[in-house]
Structure 1
Amino acid sequence: MIVKNEEKFLDDCLKGIKEIVDEIVIVDTGSTDDTIEIAQKYNARIFHFAWNYDFSQARNFSISQATCDWILVLDADERIEKKDLPKIRKIIRESKKIDGIYMTIWNQGGNPASISVHYLVRLFRRKSEIRYKGKVHELVMVPNATHLSDIKIIHLGYHLSEQRMEEKYLRDLNILLECNHKEPNNPILNFYIARTYYNLKKYAEALIYVDKSEALVELPPQNLSFYVCVLMMKANILMVMNKLHQAESVCQKGLQWMPGHLDVIHLLGTIYWSMQRFTEAVLYYRKYLLIREDILKDPRKGFHLRAISALGKAGEVYSRLAEIYFKEGNYIGAIGEMKQALKFNPSSPLYYYNLGTIYATRGQLMEARHNFQQALYYQPLFQKARDALDKIQLGERPC
């Protein structure tokens, strides 16, 4: 592990894996909190590394200190589920000709819609030729055979405040721009810069770099999943800039290369919903829900995509389907979809308010009152819900 000021996360991480590892190697890059003291509780071998804005160098220093045959890499804000812990040694025993093991990283943010997954090698043999590359968004290079496991790593790092996330993005951006100055024609660097600008809400700058990344990929692309990620990034940028027809065109290009790509299908549904082309929106949202369910049953089915950002969007999708049905006068269908949305986000005041509105339109005022009350329970200053309740009390229909 490489760490810096991780007192908030480190104890739970080490507590979870201490029983299944033979040694714990901690490389600290300059902590000023209780990180070191927490690591000492677990008899970790602690080393210090002067931070030089190069994640790969720090990673490679950490794995050079390991003494066991296999290395498991975790960050302090990551957890391995208890049921998956025994699988680690089992995989090691069975991997006679395998050098690296992919695991599924589940990124959990501050709300259900922010859940995403990606697939990375996190368990690998201790070999001199297996090392990390990339100053930021570093990846371990395993030249020989790899295997995809069903082990899940929960990443909590996106629970940070907006200020802390902005600090992380700005740190990454400075490193990426420095690297890009040396390698201006690297499509991966240009993509990461575009994504970082997008996260910082600097969309014009993001579009410049994603266009450059797309132009630098030779067709047909050797790394198909990366190329479609570039197209997805471009479509997202165009959509927030309200260039919906261009975003639609880019998404359709992505589906030509990867027809079942969950993120592209979800984004197309959202673009059509924004354009009020509801028939197409329903079509793509239904496709999204089916493919999503398939991947959730077996996350390994999403491995060919390498990263999936739309897994947590089901609540939003059901809510938008409810809105479409409501506008079309299909109130029964709208109620069903809204109830589905609440299963994914049962504390959403907006979802309760929308459900109350549908019931009120049908004249079902008891059900409407209950849902407006729920909206106010979760957001006491929700004025629209308060106004709707007041109208019901006066014997008026709120809608």
Structure 2
Amino acid sequence: MKTISLCMIVKDEEEVLERCLRPVRPFVEEIIIADTGSKDSTKVIAAGYADQVYSFPWNDDFAAARNFAFSKASMDYCMWLDADDVMTQENLEKLKIWKNQEDRADVVMMKYLTGVDEKGRPSLSYYRERLLKNHSGFWWKGKVHEAIPLAGTIQYTDMEVLHQKVKKGDPDRNLRIYENMRKEGGLQEPREWFYYGRELYDHQNYSRALEVLHHFQEMPGAWLENKIESCLQAAACQEALGNETEAMGELVRSFLWSAPRAEICCEIGRLWMKQKQWKNAAAWYQQALRDTRSLQSGAFIREDCRGFLPAIQLCVCYDHMGSRKRAYGYHCLAKKFRPDSEWVLYNDRYFSDTN
């Protein structure tokens, strides 16, 4: 049977830490926690579940903290979770089954659910490296939005981890770290520029975000999936600046690197809808429905863009074009995806009232 060291870094997580640790404790052989300066009861809670609890001086470097925790692991595999992550009993049972299988991949990928809708259904997900063979040279890189460069045999699984925040952290922390890196000449990797641009967008510094995202897109070695995602971010910047034509151009730029993605198509469709160009919008939403991209690409997957969203928008488009039969058909399709959506319920009433 494979053994697991769960390695975590925490700070002021008293509200969520026990929620994370209690279910997972019976399924791992070792828990190692590096506390980076908690002022609440986090370390006390950690001591009730962890085999080792360390104090790690925070130095604005997530990779350094995670690597410290990994360095203390003694089991076959290192696994990581954040304090506000949750593994359901169903997924923990899958982990138990995996542990008893003979295959020994170097890296085990699990789907990370980082966004949910009003009903708790996944709305944003992507695969992350979750279990890594110990003593095999796997180390975290990146002061912020840290990741482990993948190597060896990679296994994709149907196990899932839900990221479930209960409070907001410091909204300026990541941007502050990136700005300090830039001043010190430490922004070198394409991934760092990509996330720096996203942080600038989140802080509504749209013009500077565009400069950074465009620079990232031209960098040698920039990951294709991040390039495509950067087009969505750049388009949002242009739209926020009132440049809708340029926003469309940013989205189309993604076709340099890939066939149209559902997320891109939905944004192009939305921009056409803003101009009441219903036929043009419908063409792009239909393309979104045809996207069958593998979830194992590593990209940010917006679940609704391959089903509910284009269906509900096609209902609107065809209704405006006077094709009631097609509009109703797409309403029925949207209803299959999300029968309890307020938009679907509204359209139920609309079609009932106009029959």
TM-score (norm 1): 0.76
Q: Which residue of 2 aligns with 1:102?
A: 109
How many corresponding residue pairs? 343
Q: Which residue of 1 aligns with 2:208?
A: 205
Q: Give the distance between the partners of 1:176 and 1:111, measured in 2 at CA.
A: 33
Q: Which residue of 2 aligns with 1:10?
A: 17
Match of 2:39 among 32, 38, 49: 32
Q: Which residue of 1 aligns with 2:140?
A: 132
Q: Give the distance between the partners of 1:341 and 1:146, measured in 2 at CA.
A: 35
User: What amino acid is aligned across from residue 55 of structure 1 in structure 2?
Assistant: F
Return the offset for 1:111. 4.0
RMSD of equivalent CA atoms: 2.9
Q: Which residue of 1 aligns with 2:64?
A: 57
Q: Secondary structure at the match of 1:283?
A: helix
Identity %: 24
Residues 1:270 and 2:258 are matched in the alignment: no
Residues 1:325 and 2:308 are matched in the alignment: no
Q: Which residue of 2 aligns with 1:193?
A: 196
Q: Which residue of 2 aligns with 1:280?
A: 280
- Any residues of structure 2 matched to 1:36-51 within 5 Å, and which? 36-51=43-58
Q: Give the distance between the partners of 2:255 and 2:122, measured in 1 at CA.
A: 23
* Contact persistence 1:262–1:308 (CA under 8 A): no
Q: Secondary structure at the match of 1:27?
A: strand
* Contact persistence 1:180–1:186 (CA under 8 A): no
Cα-to-partner distance string for 1:279-307 (whole Å, 9 max, x where unaligned): 2322222232343xx56xxxxx2222x22
Q: Secondary structure at the match of 1:150?
A: strand
User: What amino acid is aligned across from residue 238 of structure 2 in structure 1?
Assistant: L
Are the structure 2 counterparts of residues 151 and 114 from structure 1 closer, same or farther at C-alpha, using a change threshold of 3 Å?
closer
Q: Which has the higher helix share?
A: 1
Return the offset for 1:24. 1.2
Cα-to-partner distance string for 1:256-315 (whole Å, 9 max, x where unaligned): 421152322222222222233322322222232343xx56xxxxx2222x2224224554
- Any residues of structure 2 matched to 1:1-399 within 5 Å, and which? 1-91=8-98, 93-96=101-104, 98-109=105-116, 111=118, 115-127=123-135, 129-157=137-165, 160=167, 164=168, 167-168=170-171, 170-181=172-183, 182-184=185-187, 186-215=189-218, 217-218=219-220, 223-291=223-291, 294=292, 301-304=294-297, 306-313=298-305, 314-335=307-328, 337-338=330-331, 341=334, 344=338, 346=340, 348=342, 352-353=345-346, 356-357=349-350, 359-360=352-353, 362=354
Q: Give the distance between the partners of 1:202 and 1:344, measured in 2 at CA.
A: 35
Return the offset for 1:173. 0.3
Are the structure 2 counterparts of residues 28 and 312 from structure 1 closer, same or farther at C-alpha, using a change threshold of 3 Å?
farther
Q: Which moved more, 1:113-122 or 1:8-17?
A: 113-122
Q: Give the distance between the partners of 1:351 and 1:198, measured in 2 at CA.
A: 32
Q: Give the distance between the partners of 2:308 and 2:242, measured in 1 at CA.
A: 23
Q: Secondary structure at the match of 2:148?
A: strand
What are the ranges of 5 or more consecutive residues in structure 2 without an aligned counterpart? 1-7
User: What amino acid is aligned across from residue 286 of structure 2 in structure 1?
Assistant: R
Cα-to-partner distance string for 1:69-102 (whole Å, 9 max, x where unaligned): 2111111111223333244355454334x32112
User: What amino acid is aligned across from residue 58 of structure 1 in structure 2?
Assistant: A
Cα-to-partner distance string for 1:119-168 (whole Å, 9 max, x where unaligned): 221101111622111100001234433222222111113x64xxx26x33
